[in-house]
Amino acid sequence: MGKKYFLDEPIAAIATALVPSALGIVRVSGKDSIRILSGVFSRPEALLEAPGNTLVHGWIQKSSGEKIDETLVAVYRAPKSFTGEESAEIICHGGVNVVTGIFSLLKEAGFRQAEGGEFSFRAFANGKTDLSRAEAIREIIDSKSDEARDRAVSRLSGTLYKEIKRIKEKIIECLASLEVQIDYPEDELAAGEKFNPQSLLEAAKELKKISGTWKSQKLYQDGAKVVLCGKTNAGKSSLFNILVKEERAIVSDIHGTTRDWLENWTSVKGIPVRLFDTAGIRETEDKIEEIGVSRSKQLAEEGDLILYLADGRDFVEQTEADFINTYREKMILVWNKTDAPDCRDIPPGWIGISTKTGNGVEALCEAVFEKLTGSRGENFDSGTKASVGSLRQKEAVERAATHSERAVGFFNQCLEFDVIAQEMQEALEALGEITGETVAEDILGDLFSRFCVGK
């Protein structure tokens, strides 16, 4: 069960990371929050009289007059604030002691420490945002690539909400035609004659397209685990450095330089990738290197995708062939060192690259995208701009589509209009879970508790 929030209490939270920085921000919101804040502010009257969306300069200070820090206070008046409540943001210097000192003083003054996501919950509860937009805030914070961020921003701007609202209106129109027949069965303009099952089927089709976006959304949110494997000196560390765009891995002609794995987040064609550089796979009597080889095989087992590098100047040995055959379904074969004069011809099914010149790396990235998405990208998002941002949203959309199709099926079977109407009501309730109109309180608490404190 998720947390419960109490809307009648003034809350405060540190909104910036607790590390030394140029600025820090402490947020407050709730009934009498400006009045309580004025009690620890050097210019209380200026703060109390300040209109919304203004900045007030002054000092945060103790009742004894001891100053904590010189600040700017951003004042927001209800309902024109993020939470819809009276709110303020204290902008102070970013020293950890300064920020925590101000926060401690606010708690002494009467503010309760906010729970994770409580500011966003209040925005939702006060009608400042719907649930799909609120969830998008967390997605933006957690985004690992530009593409992931852009998709979350689309939901924050209301793309999903507007599409769900449009489809709901279509279902409501169909439902209304049946309810007329239920209430006035003697009416010659019976709803059964006006009811358009095709409209409901179109709604179900649109909903299926939206639910189909979850595959891509999950990939862009969570990212993929991509493991570089191959013999020693195949060029794994060089490719690792190219893909992460920095010199993270040591590159050397000495065999077995990489004895343990390295990892780094990067982005390949907009997809967040957790990239691993592993120890070269070979038979060795070096105990430490042997441990590294064992870890390489474990990472290969756990990875979503393996990039297997071979030195294009050498033959593929039997141990390599055995490894390739074991993981072929989730592997891209990479023929490295194509720039070398003695490089052999690129075998069928391999992608030729040169980590020295960079040739072929772009084609490799295209192959990674295709392998991870299962497509060339044309139909990766089901042909719709609106997309779901969580498994919860996907399942709600799927239920709405199922109930819509069942309603049409029952209509074609000439079942009672009450039964058909109930299916459409169920579809509307499922869509209401996405916007937050019909979602249970404990689910709301669980969703918002995943947010960071101060958001």
42 is in an annotated binding site: no
430 marked as binding residue: no
Q: Which residue has the tokens 């140029």?
A: 22
Is the bond leading into 79 cis (omega within 30 degrees of zero)?
yes
How far apart, in Å, are the Cα atoms of 117 and each of 106, 127, 291, 336, 366?
A: 19, 16, 43, 48, 38
Residue 256 known to bind ligand: yes
Residue 89 is labelled as binding a ligand: yes
Find out whether 213 is annotated in a ligand binding site.
no
On whether 254 is known to bind a ligand per the annotation, the reply is: yes
Is 270 known to sit in a ligand binding site? no
CA distance 360 to 366: 10
Please tell me the distance from the alpha carbon of residue 436 to that of residue 441, in angstroms, as a whole number. Answer: 10
Task: Tell whether 235 is in a known binding site.
Answer: yes
Residue 117 known to bind ligand: no
Residue 24 annotated as part of some ligand binding site: no
Please check if 252 is assigned to a binding site: yes
Rounded Cα distance between 221 and 270, Å, is 11
Q: Does 374 carry a binding-site annotation?
A: no
Q: Does 116 count as an annotated binding residue?
A: no
Task: Tell me: is residue 233 an annotated ligand-binding position.
Answer: yes
Tokens of 277: 């550089």
Phi-psi region of 86 (alpha: psi -120 to 50; beta: other; left: phi over 0): beta
**Residue 280 annotated as lining a ligand binding site:** yes
Structure tokens at 105: 């003083």
For 89, other C-beta atoms within 10 Å of its C-beta total 19
- Residue 236 labelled as part of a binding site: yes
User: Does 292 show up as a binding residue in the annotation?
Assistant: no
Tokens 């709405």, located at residue: 400
**Length of the chain in residues, anyone?**
455
Three-class SS of 90-147: EEEEECHHHHHHHHHHHHHHCCEECCECHHHHHHHHCCCCCHHHHHHHHHHHHCCCHH
* Residue 120 CA, distance from chain mean position: 16
338 is in an annotated binding site: no
Q: Which residues contact 109 (CB under 8 A, 6 or more apart)?
A: 36, 37, 39, 40
Q: Give the Cα separation of 87 and 28 in Å (integer).
A: 6
Please say whether the beta carbons of 160 and 434 come within 8 A.
Answer: yes
27 known member of a binding site: yes
401 in helix, strand or coil?
helix
Nearest to 241 by CA among 257, 228, 254: 228
Q: Which parts are annotated binding residues for Mg(2+)?
A: 237, 258
Q: Which parts are annotated binding residues?
A: 27, 89, 128, 233-238, 252-258, 277-280, 455
Q: Which parts are annotated binding residues for K(+)?
A: 233, 252, 254, 257
Q: Which parts are annotated binding residues for GTP?
A: 233-238, 252-258, 277-280
Q: Which parts are annotated binding residues for (6S)-5-formyl-5,6,7,8-tetrahydrofolate?
A: 27, 89, 128, 455
